[in-house]
Amino acid sequence: MDELTPLPSAPATAGLTTDSFDEQRQAELRAAAEALRAQVEIYSSGMNVALNRFPKLRTVEVPVGVPEVPLVKWRPTWPRVKTVTLTFPAGFDFLPPPPPPKKEESGAAAELIPVKPPAAPAPVDGTAPPKKATRIKPPADAISIEDRLFYLLQPPLESWLKGQELIMPFEPFPYQYEGIAWLFSQKAALLADEMGLGKTMQTITAIRLLLRAGQARRILLVCPKPLIPNWQREFKTWAEEIPVVTIEGDGARRQMLWTMPGVTVLLANYELLVRDMEAFGEQAPQFDLAILDEAQRIKNRDSRTASTARAIPRKRTWALTGTPIENRPEELASLYEFMEVIPPHASPDVRQLSQLAKTFILRRTKDLVMKDMPPRLDRDEFLDLSPAQRLAYDAAEKEGVVQLNELGESISIQHVFELVLRLKQIANFDPLTGESSKLERVEADMEEIAECGGKAILFSQWTGTIDWLQEKLARFSPLVYHGKIPTPKREPILKKFKEDPKASLLMMSYATGAVGLNLQFAGYVFLYDRWWNPAIEDQAINRAHRIGQKSKVIVTKFISKDTIEEKINRVLDEKRRLFAAVLGEGEETNVSLSMNASEIFGLFDLKARNGKGTKSIKPQAPAA
Amino acid sequence: MTANVKQEPLRLGFLTAIEIPEKGFVGGLLVTNHNGRPLEFQCTVPIKPNPTQEILYGPTLSPFILGELIGTTLVERAGVKPQLILTDQAQILELRNHIDRPVALVEAGAQENASSTPGARKAIRLGRQVIQFHPAHDTDSATVTRDSQQVPVDADLQEPFERVREALQETMKSGALR
């Protein structure tokens, strides 16, 4: 039997020495080997010897076959992020901001509230009251996402206009911010704010923003000739950095001005627009924006002025008027056609006109937006004619009516109209004796107004009446402003009225003085005689009752008792009510604001022979 | 006589993101001049992590998507590069670790501080707000302070984020980001 190989010694354990441990293990192994011996008998063949040999043990390697573990690999890869980019156009490079205007040079707008200097940093703990922000909204007709984002991403007007790029000389009112934002975003717009709410300033500021935002580089502004100095002054006040060129001079010079490169704003009057555009023919200069001020000038869509205005090559179109409807709602169609929101020659009905107005017209009234504006107090002064006036009036009326009746079927509105004018003139003053109850009342009022340093504006339909009054009221040093005054002399007259404390009365014709002038330092308005259209009367009154007016405006309308004036007054009151209905929430559909033929015939209880039309009674174009 | 060195006009980048239900995160970067007038706008298509990404990224998912994925993409692709990127979401500060220009958080109620407490965000006043910088980039505040005088003191730096959010909503509504 083979000797068993001693096993490696085990570590010592407590209580046993290494030698005794080995002996014990050896004994155990021997005992185990004995147990493995095969118990066999010895056979006679002697073949059993091999059975006593110790068995040979061999080891064979057998692969176990471990299954493969599935491995999931994940790497944090993300798809390439797609982006959409909108780059804003480069803006107009303005000149460095001009120094703030001096008080004595700031013009009529000096009465406005000056912008405060930048405020100290507001507390960051959220206690500062949130300031209202006027955001520019994308116009309804902006379809592409680029167009919509362009407007959405513009800063609020308040911060834009108070930034270092666009300094505002005076803080606009909240409704003006809204108007500016609206104009800025509109490709076609009719700003129809009531007179005196600052259409001029809103327009100029919106122009500034368009230039700054790179949306316009060449702008045409058309206005009535008497308003050219007004626009020039307002541009100087509100946007001195914008170069303004006025179209004037002979044909060659005008041609040069129309096409001169680098001009930002071109200022033209309607007459020159028509004349020069016709001369240009197909080669008319292009504009990014064309603006018509007093846009009611194109209310007749078939007129040369209207068709010329429509032919101006332009990308944007704005129209400004305080009286979008002078006579009939349909006049809006002509303005819409100019604005290219209806097809040529389209005749939208009142419902369609109203629907378009929601998108393309912005109109606010003083009642709505200027709650803190000093009130306008109207007083109708019913005066008895003086004895001489009464005599002359009754005689003229009697004779006139007899003559009208004698005309029979051949009577025309012109005949009636002539009699109305004759009677109105007698109600103003008796041409024979010079007696006038209205004059007496004006003198009395003017004594008081001049005494306390006030200023008054007097309106009349006739330049003859104004000239007559100038003589009678000489002690008040009245200034005269009407169509017969040459244009270069008009601006100095307004300046003198504003600045000379002795000039307490300015007398104007409705035709020349009713639109566009800022006379908010006058607290009194006399309507010496009445105009035929309440909208024109309101325009006249609003020369004084407008932004910047600090005191109440007292409007005195003279009406001679028992005369044609009383009847006209009743008609005008009714017209005024209807005017409010059309432009407000009312549903009047066919309102004529001027007196029509039937109404004029009705003044003498005569029936109109052809009373369907509207007699066009409007301020005559002022003399050049 | 020393010549006046003309300071380069400061361009600010207003970076924010919104989450559109079912669609994921959309990021927008509005680059303006120092007065807030827009110069360029960029936005991403919606990015929606899948469930695996949500599980494996865990709490780092938002900083990754907003800061690294959206922020880096928008800044790198901007044609008009802003010198300072402002955000109103703290997760986007992560962007600073992936770009070479300062990123700051405009946060209502944050206080100006000059302390250098480790781990604290350094904060300075800019316009009407206090802006905070990534704690790992200490020098950013000094860099920004140098140019910050161009920003009007009454500039509201929270307001442009409203514009970006509105633009993102408008863009999603239009379907331009499908």
Q: What is the DSSP string of A537-581?
A: HHHHHTTTSSTT--S-EEEEEEEETTSHHHHHHHHHHHHHHHHHH
- Assign residue A525 the CATH number of its domain: 3.40.50.300
A269 pLDDT tier (thresholds 50, 70, 90): very high
How far does the CA of residue A202 sit from the closest CA of chain B (Å)? 20
Ramachandran region, residue B22 (left: φ > 0; alpha: ψ -120 to 50; beta: rest): left
A436 pLDDT tier (thresholds 50, 70, 90): very high
Interface predicted TM-score of the whole assembly (ipTM), two decimals = 0.90
Look up residue A516 and give its DSSP letter. Answer: S
Statement to judge: residues A435 and A323 lie in one domain: no
Calculate what percentage of chain A has a pLDDT beyond 70. 77
Chain A neighbors of B80, CB-CB under 8 A: 87
Is A60 within a domain? Answer: no
A87 pLDDT tier (thresholds 50, 70, 90): confident
Is A94 within a domain? Answer: no
Chain A neighbors of B69, CB-CB under 8 A: 78, 81
How far does the CA of residue B135 sit from the closest CA of chain A (Å)? 22
Q: Residue A393 has what pLDDT?
A: 94
Among the partner residues B37, B111, B152, nearest to A118 by beta-carbon distance: B152
Statement to judge: residues A338 and A438 lie in one domain: no
Statement to judge: residues A503 and A585 lie in one domain: yes
How far does the CA of residue A85 sit from the closest CA of chain B (Å)? 4
Q: Is the pTM of this model over 0.80?
A: no
C-alpha–C-alpha distance, residues B14 and A535, integer Å? 50
Q: Write out the E strands in A178-271.
A: 188-191, 219-223, 244-246, 265-269
Task: Tell me the residue type at A162.
Answer: K
Most confident of A24-28, A548-552, B127-131, B151-155: B127-131
A88–B43 CB contact, under 8 Å = no
Chain A neighbors of B36, CB-CB under 8 A: 155, 159-160, 163
Statement to judge: residues A452 and A430 lie in one domain: yes
| Residue B51 backbone dihedrals phi, psi, to 5 degrees | -60, -40
Calculate what percentage of chain A has a pLDDT beyond 90. 33
Q: Residue A13 has what pLDDT?
A: 44
Beta strand B24-33 with B38-44 is antiparallel
List domains and CATH numbers for chain B: 11-172 (3.30.2170)
Is A317 within a domain? Answer: yes
Q: What is the DSSP string of B1-68?
A: -PPPPPPPPPEEEEEEEEEETTTEEEEEEEEEETTS-EEEEEEEPPB---HHHHHHHGGGHHIIIIII
Largest CA-CA distance found in chain B, in angstroms, rounded: 66
A124–B129 CB contact, under 8 Å = yes
A83 to chain B: closest CA residue: B44
B38–A83 CB contact, under 8 Å = no
B40–A84 CB contact, under 8 Å = no
Last residue of some domain: A311, A336, A369? A369
Statement to judge: residues A422 and A522 lie in one domain: yes
A132 to chain B: closest CA residue: B159
Among the partner residues A74, A149, A164, nearest to B171 by beta-carbon distance: A149
The whole domain housing A340 covers: 143-369
Q: Residue B150 has what pLDDT?
A: 85
C-alpha–C-alpha distance, residues A189 and A154, integer Å? 19
A368 pLDDT tier (thresholds 50, 70, 90): confident
Q: Residue A88 has what pLDDT?
A: 86
A86–B41 CB contact, under 8 Å = yes
Q: Which of A545, A392, A526, A421 is nearest to A469 (CA)?
A: A526
How far does the CA of residue A154 sit from the closest CA of chain B (Å)? 6
Cα A538 to chain center, whole Å?
21
Q: Which residue has the higher pLDDT, B167 or A90?
A: B167
Structure tokens at B38: 């827009």
Among the partner residues A81, A133, A145, nearest to B47 by beta-carbon distance: A81
Looking at chain B from residue 114 to 143, which residues have their Cβ under 8 Å from any Cβ of chain A? 125, 127-130
Q: Residue A403 has what pLDDT?
A: 84
Q: Which of B44, B133, B53 is nearest to B86 (CA)?
A: B133
Is A533 within a domain? Answer: yes
Q: Which residue has the higher pLDDT, B87 or A549?
A: B87
Among the partner residues A85, A120, A122, nearest to B42 by beta-carbon distance: A85
B152–A163 CB contact, under 8 Å = yes
A248 burial class (0-12, 13-18, 19+ CB within 10 angstroms)?
A: middle
Q: Are A454 and A523 in contact (CB under 8 A)?
A: yes
A155–B32 CB contact, under 8 Å = yes
C-alpha–C-alpha distance, residues A109 and A139, integer Å? 31
Statement to judge: residues A149 and A235 lie in one domain: yes
B56–A78 CB contact, under 8 Å = no
Statement to judge: residues A218 and A315 lie in one domain: yes
Q: Residue A165 has what pLDDT?
A: 61
- Assign residue A275 the CATH number of its domain: 3.40.50.10810
Q: Are A542 and A194 in contact (CB under 8 A)?
A: yes
Q: Are B133 and B123 in contact (CB under 8 A)?
A: yes
Q: Which residue has the higher pLDDT, A516 or A275?
A: A275
Looking at chain B from residue 141 to 160, which residues have their Cβ under 8 Å from any Cβ of chain A? 152-156, 159-160
Cα A380 to chain center, whole Å?
35
Q: Residue A423 has what pLDDT?
A: 92
Q: Write out the E strands in A343-493.
A: 361-362, 376-383, 456-460, 479-481
Ramachandran region, residue A262 (left: φ > 0; alpha: ψ -120 to 50; beta: rest): left
Residue A316, chain B, CB below 8 Å: the answer is no
Statement to judge: residues A171 and A315 lie in one domain: yes
Q: Residue A39 has what pLDDT?
A: 61
Residue B37, chain A, CB below 8 Å: the answer is yes
pLDDT at A568 over 60: yes
Is A492 within a domain? Answer: yes
Residue A480's SS3 state is strand
Interface size between A and B, measured as CB pairs under 8 A = 123
Cα A238 to chain center, whole Å?
15
Is A609 within a domain? Answer: no
B14 to chain A: closest CA residue: A153
C-alpha–C-alpha distance, residues A500 and A496, integer Å? 5
Best mutation site among B54, B60, B131, B154 for testing chain A: the one with the most A CBs within 10 Å? B154
Chain B neighbors of A84, CB-CB under 8 A: 42-45, 171, 176-177
Q: Which of A466, A455, A414, A443 is nearest to A544 (CA)?
A: A455
If you count them, how many residues does chain B have? Answer: 178
B163–A118 CB contact, under 8 Å = no
Among the partner residues B53, B79, B108, nearest to A85 by beta-carbon distance: B79
A126–B152 CB contact, under 8 Å = no
Residue A116, chain B, CB below 8 Å: the answer is no
Statement to judge: residues A361 and A414 lie in one domain: no
Statement to judge: residues A555 and A576 lie in one domain: yes
Q: Is the four-CA dihedral A98, A104, A105, A111 of positive or negative sign?
A: positive
pLDDT at B132 over 80: yes
B154–A126 CB contact, under 8 Å = no
Residue B76, chain A, CB below 8 Å: the answer is no
C-alpha–C-alpha distance, residues B35 and B12, integer Å? 9
Per-residue pLDDT tens digits for A456-496: 999 999 999 999 999 999 989 899 998 888 888 888 998 89
Per-residue pLDDT tens digits for A282-304: 889 999 999 999 998 998 889 99
Is A121 within a domain? Answer: no
Chain B neighbors of A115, CB-CB under 8 A: none
Chain A neighbors of B30, CB-CB under 8 A: 153
Among the partner residues A81, A164, A165, nearest to B70 by beta-carbon distance: A81
Q: Residue A120 has what pLDDT?
A: 37
Per-residue pLDDT tens digits for A578-600: 655 555 533 333 344 556 666 66
B110–A118 CB contact, under 8 Å = no
B73–A83 CB contact, under 8 Å = yes
Our count of domains for chain A comes to: 3
Statement to judge: residues A315 and A171 lie in one domain: yes
A163 to chain B: closest CA residue: B35
Q: Distances in Å between the alpha carbon of A32 and those of A38, A39, A40, A50?
A: 12, 14, 18, 21
Give CA torsion, residues A106, A107, A112, A117, to 10 deg.
-10
Which residues make beta-bridge pairs with B42?
A85, B29
Q: Residue A295 has what pLDDT?
A: 92
Q: Are A216 and A210 in contact (CB under 8 A)?
A: yes
Q: Residue A118 has what pLDDT?
A: 34
Q: Residue B165 has what pLDDT?
A: 96
pLDDT at A220 over 90: yes
Is A63 within a domain? Answer: no
C-alpha–C-alpha distance, residues A373 and A369, integer Å? 9
Statement to judge: residues A290 and A385 lie in one domain: no
A161 pLDDT tier (thresholds 50, 70, 90): confident
